[in-house]
Structure 1
């Protein structure tokens, strides 16, 4: 697990993360630079997408861009900085509606849009599953997500004092499921085997080792058909169920506050 929380200068990384809103003084004067920070970040993402997070080194990014490694450091001063920029750019790639942008009319549909795009993001960029977001990059990608989810939950009618906690619960459920999507992609790439195939290889466990007497609840659920189909199908069903329960709870709380 890669930690983004340390090893970088705060003022430096914030200037890089918010470079489009607040370009550095004098950034447009003098000789035009050969590269842009955007090109460096995009190259890093491309390498991580195809070859994995470990492959996205400063040397390999420089080689892809056709410059020396030391030249790259004049644009992005460290690999930690590069990873923060990569993560935030990918977060922003979901293009969640901002204030005033068209969005689904119902708040639950707004949450489902966020969930669908987040799941797709982790499938397209599975290396995100290798990065801890406990200490996230404080960039526009993160804050666009936060603003969108908070506004969607606020639209439920929940009192403002409860919106942040409820939005956090939504984000935890969605991100947890999305990270598993990314992990599944990484494991399939590394092993050449799907998770369903992995379980199928171990099917004799249930005959040879599973003790129904010690696991009566599991057995009753199995006999009732409650374990569903393959693991991917189960994961999708669990996510849909978990998100529905959270949204139902928010809806009930909002209704109670209006009563």
Structure 2
């Protein structure tokens, strides 16, 4: 707690820590080389954001509703806004597209950070947790009350929430979002 003596409050210390971690992604600035394709730019942002949450899982416990305004946050915003401009999104919609991408990526990254914290606290992977609960489906699940879930299960679309499935769902969702942006950046 010695650090608190150098900043006015614990909240400001956390803000400084958060912004420093945001900056650690080392996203390219306006004059730095970056991937030529806007989709590759978003994938770079997404990959580095997810890696950041895995490396700093405590970040998943910090609210991002009112983020600290600092160089790390501003660099992220500039980078994602620029990528949306390169995607051909009309300027009046660029921020909406950037916020949507940021929300999706951050939500997935925060879940990864939370997963790291849960694994550390319990010593158990998500896959092991779901495996321990597998008999729930045989003993208590009522197929009449959950017909859609049952149909998806029988088609092989549910598998217990494995990490592999979470990764596939993330990749699918990001692809759909980017396809939608590419298809029509001015969707109402």
Which interval holds the TM-score relative to the shorter structure? over 0.9
Structure 1 segments (4+ residues) deviating >4 Å = none
TM-score (ref. length: structure 1): 0.69
2: CA distance, partners of 1:90 / 1:163: 25
3-state DSSP class of the match of 2:184? helix
Q: 1:103: which partner in 2? A: 34
Residues matched between the structures, number: 187
1: CA distance, partners of 2:149 / 2:186: 36
2: CA distance, partners of 1:117 / 1:221: 33
Whose relative contact order is higher, 1 or 2, with alpha carbons under 8 Å and at least 6 apart? 2
1: CA distance, partners of 2:168 / 2:91: 31
Matched, 1:137 2:137: no
TM-score (ref. length: structure 2): 0.95
Q: 1:233: which partner in 2? A: 164
Matched, 1:218 2:166: no
Q: Shift of the alpha carbon at 1:81?
A: 1.4
Q: Shift of the alpha carbon at 1:230?
A: 5.0
Structure 2, unaligned stretches of length 5 or more? none
Q: 1:181: which partner in 2? A: 112
Structure 1, unaligned stretches of length 5 or more? 1-57, 63-68
Q: 2:82: which partner in 1? A: 151
Residue deviations 1:1-39 (CA, integer Å, cap 9, x gap): xxxxxxxxxxxxxxxxxxxxxxxxxxxxxxxxxxxxxxx
Pick which of 236-245 and 181-190 moved more: 236-245
1: CA distance, partners of 2:185 / 2:138: 48
Where do 1:17-166 residues align within 5 Å?
Answer: 58=1, 62=2, 73=5, 75-166=6-97
Residue deviations 1:121-145 (CA, integer Å, cap 9, x gap): 0000000011001011000000000
Structure whose CA Rg is larger: 1
2: CA distance, partners of 1:150 / 1:228: 36
Q: Shift of the alpha carbon at 1:154?
A: 0.7
Residue deviations 1:211-253 (CA, integer Å, cap 9, x gap): 1121111111111111257521121111111111111111011
2: CA distance, partners of 1:163 / 1:130: 28
Q: 1:24: which partner in 2? A: none
Q: Shift of the alpha carbon at 1:87?
A: 0.2
Contact 2:93-2:186 within 8 A present in 1 as well:
no
